[in-house]
Structure 1
């Protein structure tokens, strides 16, 4: 409409039309508005403009996708890592992959020095540099882990496997004690029950780890060898400062590992 008015004004200026030519301008305007060729040309112009805009949007989206791909290549370390205890491989859920398999280990059960956390050691350890300084009389020590109870697929004194897992679609991993299910919006990686060292005054403290509810033994050759080392017992509730209910005396404590 603005283009047509500009055209009429230009014609008026070129032909020295007078201000009293209102009827003629109104008639010309009606002719232009009712002219099929004029309407068709404007529709075609709009279609060309829309096609051009679509082409620009497609080009910009291609550039955005290319930038996103570059960012992913530069930052491939997305997702979360956790350890499944008692299994030789990771659960096939939520896009989980196995980073490596190993054997559980840690400090000896009755030694008060050294570390307290349980580690997932690899099956193919690398040697330290040949010139690494040594103080063997005071070095910390690490031992393999053994079950100290019988349950389903394993027996007391069996060695404990483990696997380190990667979940690419998540940003957080959480182990929740005393639960078998995850909060709303979280996904279950696996559930089981807590294990740690025995509750003896002469034993050293270990961390609480979540043993898979379908745990297995490490290898056939490592079965039932009572070597002790880093030994694992189930964890039970003790009423008192821990309220009962909702807990119960001697209740075995469950656990669940959740991803988000």
Structure 2
């Protein structure tokens, strides 16, 4: 099983478990979960309380900053996702900083590593957004919810020149 971020279809050789919308905590939340979720298109609710809550779930927007950022054409678009099950492989892993798999692993998709902005108070995780992403139909508006930015490498404890300071990180989802 793996999630394909930025797409509504699974790569060839995989079955769709469900498709939906990326979601997570608000980018300014001082607490709350840091996981990005793939929410199904059709939620099922059991109860509703008017008391309110202290934990909220927001839709996710692409937020590339500069005109040169990968996927700049997707700025402010809402992020779709699909959960896929491989028909022939048992293990899946997202490999950051590579757009190719290691020997004996099969590439399901490649793209760019995205995550929350380090200047925001809200936490997030890293997700691999497909290099040719889609957006949620009708979802092109600044709603200021859960935000994903391209992740750049920073030299220091990260060894450079193998890594390059300020370059956008790639990623691959591989199965075996």
- Note whether the superposition's TM-score is higher than 0.5: yes
Which structure has more relative contact order (CA 8 Å, sep 6+)? It is 2
- CA contact 1:99–1:164 (8 Å) conserved in 2: yes
Name the larger-Rg structure: 1
Q: 1:32 maps to which residue? A: none
SS for the counterpart of 2:74 is coil
Partner of 1:88: 8
More helix by share: 1
1:102 alignment partner in structure 2: 20
Distance 1:193 1:148 in 2: 13
Unpaired segments ≥5 residues, structure 1: 1-80
Residue matched to 2:34: 116
How many Å apart are 1:177 and its aligned residue? 0.5
Higher strand proportion? 2
Tell me the CA shift for residue 151 of structure 1.
Answer: 4.8
Q: CA deviation at 1:196?
A: 0.5
CA distances 1:121-141 after superposition (whole Å, capped 9, x unpaired) = 1111111236xx6741x4310
Query: Displacement of 1:155 after TM fit?
Result: 2.5
TM-score (norm 1): 0.63
How far does the alpha carbon of each residue in 1:198-223 deviate from its partner, in whole angstroms, 9 at most, with x for none? 120x421200000001111111x222
Partner of 2:146: 230
Q: Which of 58, 62, 76 is the matching residue for 1:143?
A: 58
* Residue 185 (structure 1) aligned to one of 89, 104, 119: 104
Cα root mean square deviation, aligned: 1.7
Instruction: State how far apart, in whole Å, the 2-side matches of 1:82 and 1:144 are.
Output: 20
1:218 equivalent to 2:133? Answer: no
**Secondary structure of 1:222's partner?**
coil
Contact 2:33-2:123 at 8 Å conserved across structures: no
Describe the superposition over 1:101-146 as per-residue Cα deviations: whole angstroms up to 9, x where unpaired. Answer: 100000000102211000001111111236xx6741x431000000
The count of corresponding residues between Structure 1 and Structure 2 is 172
